[in-house]
Structure 1
């Protein structure tokens, strides 16, 4: 190959860097002192060679990918003679480069959605070419064809590929594809796809997040996206992996995909399979020729519960120390002095039962310890007995000591004070201490013995020791209750079963979160679990026993299977070949499943990930769901394209407003503007009370609503929804006796996800242990082990209510107890939620009549007892309020020192009562005229001689 030479000028020989340059059709060669120093291939050129004539010689400037090379002090004549020849070599090379970049640019920006991973590549490949073109525009336009120049001019407006420019490119692609694929998107589902759905199908970035509000057609997007990829040739059916939350969802999705595929003549879609994470894990292990024997515990959860029951029974029977620890850990300790307000304390005690080994529900943890100690030491007692006298210490209450030691005939009071007489923050210290003195005086007056324990005994760890000293001082025999008898009590009282179920949930949380012993302890400590060290020891023992049992069975559970599948992929024993991975119900994904996904992506052929979910419907934290993987998707997995599905065809604008406003109170979730296909002018979410003739009757009220619906809409589908199954069972028993209709369904809130009915009736809105929202802290240990929850109060329970309300297509009915309303109902009463409040019992004026005057959240409820009707507080036995029934209007009547006044402001009837014992006063005739005398005067065993002037 003949090379040509360009020599240096006279000055170049003395001052130039290079002694000469040569070139041929392939390369440029640079010499120093006649020795080859460097060379550049013409294939690497990105611009024309230009010359600049100077006084001491000519400079040639060469533009390569790797460098811009300037050579000065060259002979003017040599440069003039060779420049045209050099550029004639360069021209076809640049033109071919432009053609190549044009094809690449079209492929990555016009034939498919611009992926984030392509941006830097296009930037590096095209921008240097464009940069040189702008500097040498005249040269290029003279030498290159119009088509190449046209491409360069069109491309300049998009480079550099900044975020706005990338957005512009994608927008143009979306617009073009919407037009081009319009017919396909119109027919791929039974109804034409919405624009949001179409965009979710079209957007095919490396990572894609589709956020779908309830009823916005996320399944349609999943189906359409798969069929679109296949139909356009962007992926082969076997290159697409679809992952569903469970087998039922997988079957439904696959069936629908095949049906729509056949309709759209994309029959090959049947080769695309929808799998659960567990099924995929098993398949990967099988293909990697690893043993996969699934444990009986995974196949049959009842067998797991039976195994854990046997483990506990054996340990309890064999080890007294284990039994003592088991009993201690059966209750969550609480320090009442930690509460800052009465409302905090009232709510806690109302919603969290402290039930003794003997079966009584006591008002606090320390009372429970005293009761259990007496039971375990064979000291027979009675909890809160009637005192020998009705003489009152507190206005409105008969005096009831905490305990009565039956055999010794001694009363025991546990006083909530520290060594300085300080009380809980919300209790009046002076008044409380005065009442202690009055109680002591009362016992002296009636000749009864009182022993006392104090809050500080417990704080100092001396409560049991104090009890022992009291027993010894009063010659009360204590003896350890036989081990077998205590075991029998644990079993018969339900404490054993309740704890087995609790620890089973703990085990499942440990497995799904893959917690080590140390991590168990850290989580318990972080969540302020008292006795965290003892819990950690017990939980570690359970987990160790479980893994030993799996080894004995030579099997693995579903959690193991995911972990082993991750390891198999990471080791390279299985090579993922999917180009597209789609995940349904992503808001409920666990950390382990996310790790599994990442392994498939990192070890695969750069697959594109599309996840579809709704952060507003994240309700499966108990099975490991980590909402932050959705709400923090971009920061967790990298840049992504996000599409909101906000148009719903299921429900109307009234349901959308109430449910959407309610769930969006949580600022840690995505904001969505849900648009409905159906518009109504009046509220379609109704709030009704659960009373019939002023008496609680949830089941009958539900029946009445169903009957009314069917009268107006005979072919309607109706669903009853509740937080707990027992409420559904009770309601179904009543309803099914009166109405035999297959269209009436009964769903738990969790079970209703993905379902719909014309009318939904939501029940179970009351306070208490099984109320909604669930505020029970008995499962605090489980909660500590589960994935962290966003900090907004009742966040997951709030999402659960959103799910429930949005199951309805036409109307949603909420039935609540107006005298024990849950905090959700109290919140929904605000005007902004636009409920149709269909009962006057939710009016403030009406509710105030029945508001408990002792606790902060309770309401008076009329009950039937052995001796007739009476009012009690909905907070239960933890609130001792016991108002009279107004003889005039039947409302609660509250006791004051000398009279009981009806709480109904339109009645205000009064009853004169004794200021000593609280019995009604009677008008009597006396020597000096009429007077009021206590009706207890004639009671010999507890006579009250109190009188009062008229």
Structure 2
């Protein structure tokens, strides 16, 4: 470096001579780097320069410097001068960067101040005019904040001293900016809730017959864009919906004609409409303009508005179109030989060939039971045997081969099937693909068997597992049998050993449910085929592929019938309405969309609801209870509710956990029962209702024929208590009794109770139909095991998984929810009716886990120790050489045991309180 006034660097004369560096000069002044080489100067600002490298030698160094777009290598600078330039360059760059940061900070601080002022003003204005600060509001202001780019400057360590020296106004901006906007919004919303609770106290106290609870008030005041209210049974969800609409009108948040309530059936829509007018009209609110519609009726209106032509619903959809579906299948069977053959085989064989929810099939410990009654070794052999039986082909399973084959290495040969009518044998090979078997040595054995037939000149028919599950084996087998003189005579009504073909009604219901889900989820035949490939292998794939072939033909005819009648069905109605909304063919005027019974929403309903609130400034208020989702067969998809936020985006999820219907003991038992399924949304149900001890009891009848008389006896005792005034809380009025059955035919159990009508209002309902109903006392009949028991062992066809987003994995999940619905219809007590030695597994679970006490018809307590091993039967006294013990009544199928004396594992079964001669003698054991 020279001694000039400005800092400059250049090579010395010796360096020029010895390093051949040439004549160059380097200057650094006022954030400008100047390099002069051969008299030509190049200038660039510090921000456009970079010291690429300093290569130090023994005496001299070399600087590699980027100046603008040029890279210059300056040789011959002394080591000390090189270090001096490097230090000066670094200091200058850091000084420049700090000044630039300070300038950037000043600009950003001004923008941040403007954001803080605007945010505060908008927040105040929104609270004053619109009330609740919504997720939409928060997202908008969070995005504006992110665009300012101030936060990273506050965290820069080079600016900390400068930030600490800021004046009070900038420091105030920094403090407000540093607060999380969403936390600020949450705090202001809580203040708003508290203020509204006080200011609207009179409204909240009078809008319904009883003052709203704290939970209900929060759900009413919270006006977020997407809200899901998880409401316990009897928690006042309808009251909350009505109050929500009323509050919107009361505070002038939304005009009455911009509020729509959507329900799932006409009765529910009518109740919402009537309740809204009854409760809001006397308060001077414009309830007449609030609309309550069913999804389907609303969908029709949307299509009409969007297209100018309101479509008609097919008149044959009564009873969900099951009768029409039957006509379509009859027509296809009459006109399509292939369809008839596949339908009949599916109904006779494949429809029953899948496990129930407990995994039970026709598999036994020894193998697989066929329609003819023998036991075979594999599901493939069973499929072939059932097909042969269905087609009237005589066969013998594993008949000894007609020639002696036993030798030192082989036993006597037993081919899989023998056809006596044509003296032919049939081997079904366990090949996963041509030439591939999962078993060691299998191919060698296969070759030996084929050689045996060739050597002896016997006829051999062959199929493989690969061909069977791929769909070609049975077709090829039929051709080979026909060529050899066997006439196939398919008969869907040929009685299988111990079985009958699946009832047409059940099969039609399965196809209708599949149709509803497939159309609701907008799944084409091609998409269903892809799902089949992804989700099904082996025997299930064969069965599901057959189902899909039938379904494709049925859906084609269904849609053709709709087109011929110029009509649409329920699923089309919802899907078309959603499509028109999504395409902008009709812009909904509704700002507040309220959906009742959201646990029963289908994919199509959810899609329609989402489309209705897609525009900014719209509100979705959905109320439901996933514990009461019991309409899967009708297209309901529980994942719509449990996956609410994935459907509708960021949402406020609230709970109504206080019930006004049933006492705490029923709340505890029913909640613990339904929450055995971990997929259900957890909530803690708290009761505000008085206990009428006892609340839950079990009565065991000796036989099915004794059930009606036993129920009448119990209800007569109840009637006598009402008449005598012994039963508290019922002076001068009848008590209601709701007898609930899993099936309609169970109404016969109350046919002899007409003479109790002077004190009791007794009526029967199926549990499905009882949704929304309640009574003082509930009698649940049919708490037995078996096909028509409760839970029902008529399984939902697993093929439905192909048309639904996700299958439930918990066993009998919907039956469990159905039992919860039944339990929670009661205001005072529940009586569960069972039959000795046929107790329902649900009932056994209540005894084991909840301590519910079991009595006989006259109220005597019955010993009820549930087998700790299987949980499906009671323990009974037994004896052995070691002495007496308790053994499972299902022995030898279950070998569970308990010691009688001194064993802490034997639970004490004792009633709580004194036995009563009234309705339900015992409450749950605490």
Same fold? TM cut 0.5: yes
CA contact (8 A) 2:630 2:814 kept: yes
Q: State yes or no: 1:593 paired with 2:593.
A: no
Q: Is residue 709 from structure 1 mapped to residue 718 from structure 2 by the alignment?
A: yes
Q: CA deviation at 1:800?
A: 1.1
Residues 347 and 502 in structure 2, CA contact (< 8 A), matched pair in contact too? no
Cα offset for 1:640?
1.8
* One of 526, 548, 552 as aligned partner of 2:564: 552
Change (3 A) 1:349 1:281: farther
- Rounded to whole Å, the distance in 2 between the matches of 1:256 and 1:520 is 43
The more displaced of 459-468 and 625-634 is 459-468
Q: Is structure 2 residue 388 aligned with structure 1 residue 377?
A: no
Q: Which runs of 5+ in 2 are unaligned?
A: 1-28, 33-94, 155-161, 397-419, 432-462, 724-733, 877-886, 901-926
Please, which of 111, 116, 123 is the counterpart of residue 105 of structure 1? Answer: 123
2:704 paired with 1:658 = no
1:613 CA drift (Å): 1.0
Matches within 5 A, 1:754-833: 754-777=772-795, 779-782=797-800, 784-831=802-849, 833=850
For residues 201-246 of structure 1, what are the alpha-carbon distances to aligned partners after superposition, in whole Å with 9 as ceiling and x for unaligned? 0111111111110111111110101111111011111121221122
Once the two structures are TM-superposed, the CA of residue 185 in structure 1 deviates from its matched residue by: 0.6
Which residue of 2 is the match for residue 516 of structure 1? 524
Shift of 1:582: 1.4
- Alpha-carbon distance change, 297 to 521 in structure 1, aligned in 2, over 3 angstroms: farther
Q: Deviations over 1:553-586 (max 9, x none)?
A: 1221221122221222222221122222211111
In the other structure, the counterpart of 2:863 is: 843
Of 312, 318, 324 in structure 1, the residue corresponding to residue 341 of structure 2 is: 324
1:417 and 1:511 map into 2 onto residues whose CA distance is 40
Alpha-carbon displacement from aligned partner over 1:704-761 (angstroms, at most 9, x marks no partner): 222222222352100011221112x322334447768772121222111111100001
Report the equivalent of 2:689.
678
Indicate if the aligned counterparts of 1:230 and 1:236 stay in contact, CA closer than 8 A: yes
Deviation at 1:196, TM superposition (A): 0.5
Deviation digits for residues 505-529 of structure 1 (CA, Å, limit 9, x no counterpart): 3333333333211233344552645
Determine if contact 1:235/1:579 at 8 Å carries over to the other structure: yes
How many residue pairs align between the two structures? 699
Cα offset for 1:592? 1.1
Q: 1:277 aligns with which of 295, 298, 307?
A: 295
**Structure 1 equivalent of residue 74 of structure 2:** none
- Could you tell me how far apart the structure 2 residues matched to 1:645 and 1:578 are? 26
Once residues 769 and 316 of structure 2 are traced to their aligned partners in structure 1, the CA distance between those partners, rounded to angstroms, is: 20
Q: Structure 2: how far apart are the matches of 1:158 and 1:683?
A: 60
Mean CA deviation greater in 737-746 or 478-487: 478-487
1:747 aligns to what? 765
Instruction: Evaluate the alpha carbon distance shift between residue 339 and residue 657 of structure 1 in structure 2; reply closer, same or farther with a 3 A threshold.
Output: closer
Inter-CA distance 499–510: structure 2 relative to 1 (3 Å threshold): same
In the aligned structure 1, how far is the partner of 2:493 from the partner of 2:819? 44
Q: Displacement, 1:198?
A: 0.3
Cα offsets for 1:438-464 (capped at 9, x unmatched): xxxxxxxxxxxxxxxxxx999996999
Question: 8 Å contact 2:700–2:833 — kept in the other structure?
Answer: yes
Partner of 1:309: 326
In structure 2, what is the equivalent of residue 83 of structure 1? Answer: none
Paired with 2:601 and 2:671, the residues of 1 have a C-alpha distance of 23
1:821-861 CA distance string (max 9 Å, x none) = 22212221224x2423335786356989xx9xxx9968999
Q: Compute the RMSD of aligned alpha carbons.
A: 5.5
Q: Which moved more, 1:245-254 or 1:706-715?
A: 706-715
Shift of 1:669: 2.0
- Cα–Cα, structure 1 residues 717 and 160, in superposed 2: closer, same or farther, change >3 Å? same
TM-score for both structures, normalised by structure 1: 0.63
Q: Per-residue displacement from partner, 1:261-311 (whole Å, max 9, x unpaired)?
A: 122221x12101011211221111222243333243564347x44433333
Distance 1:472 1:283, change over 3 A: closer
- Residue 700 of structure 1: which of 709, 716, 721 is its match? 709
Change (3 A) 1:698 1:156: farther
SS at match of 1:577: coil
Equivalence map 1:314-463=2 (5 Å):
314-331=331-348, 333=350, 345=360, 373=388, 376-377=391-392
| Corresponding position of 1:505 | 513
Q: Structure 2 CA distance, aligned partners of 1:108 and 1:556?
A: 44
| SS of residue paired to 2:793 | coil
State yes or no: 1:635 paired with 2:651.
Answer: no
Alignment of structure 1 residues 827-906 onto 2, 5 Å: 827-831=845-849, 833-839=850-856, 843-844=863-864
User: Kindly tell me: are residues 703 and 269 of structure 1, through their superposed partners in 2, closer, same or farther at Cα, counting changes over 3 Å?
Assistant: same
1:812, distance to aligned residue in structure 2 (A):
0.9
Q: CA deviation at 1:199?
A: 0.4
Structure 1 740/531 Cα, relative in aligned 2: closer, same or farther at 3 Å?
A: farther
Is the 2:630–2:817 Cα contact (8 Å) retained in structure 1? yes
Alignment partner of 1:567 out of 573, 579, 597: 579
Give the conservation status (yes or no) of the 8 Å contact 1:658–1:835.
no
**Contact kept in structure 1, 2:777 and 2:829, CA below 8 Å:** yes
In the TM superposition, what is the alpha-carbon distance from 1:797 to its structure 2 partner? 1.4
For the structure 1 residues 542 and 809, does the alpha-carbon distance in structure 2 shift closer, same or farther, using more than 3 Å as the test?
Answer: same
Matches of 1:514 and 1:236, distance apart in 2: 35
Decide whether the 8 Å contact of 2:362 with 2:369 is kept in 1.
no
Contact 2:740–2:767 (8 Å) recurs in 1: yes
Does residue 1:610 correspond to 2:604, yes or no? no
| Per-residue CA distance 1:625-646 (angstroms, 9 max, x = gap) | 2222222222332222222111
1:224 aligns with 2:236: no
1:380-425 superposed Cα distances (whole Å, 9 cap, x missing partner)? 99xxxxxxxxxxxxxxxxxxxxxxxxx99xxxxx9x9999xxxxxx
Q: TM-score, normalised by structure 2?
A: 0.64
Q: Could you tell me which of 219, 233, 258 is aligned with 1:214?
A: 233
How many angstroms does 1:782 deviate by? 4.1
Q: Distance in 2 between the 1:589 and 1:893 partners?
A: 43
Q: What does the per-residue CA deviation read over 1:650-685, in whole Å, with 9 as the maximum and x for residues that have no partner?
A: 110100000011111222222211111125495511
- Unaligned segments of structure 1, at least 5 residues: 1-13, 18-53, 71-92, 142-148, 382-406, 409-413, 420-455, 862-890, 897-902, 907-950
**Mapping of residues 229-268 of structure 1, within 5 Å:** 229-266=248-285, 268=286
Mapped to 2, the partners of 1:340 and 1:113 lie a distance apart of 49
In structure 2, C-alpha distance between the alignment counterparts of 1:814 and 1:514, rounded to whole Å: 42
Equivalent pair of 2:225/2:619 in contact (CA under 8 Å): yes
1:796-821, Cα deviation, whole Å (9 max, x unpaired): 21111111101100001111234122
Match of 2:595 in 1: 583
Determine if contact 2:591/2:613 at 8 Å carries over to the other structure. no
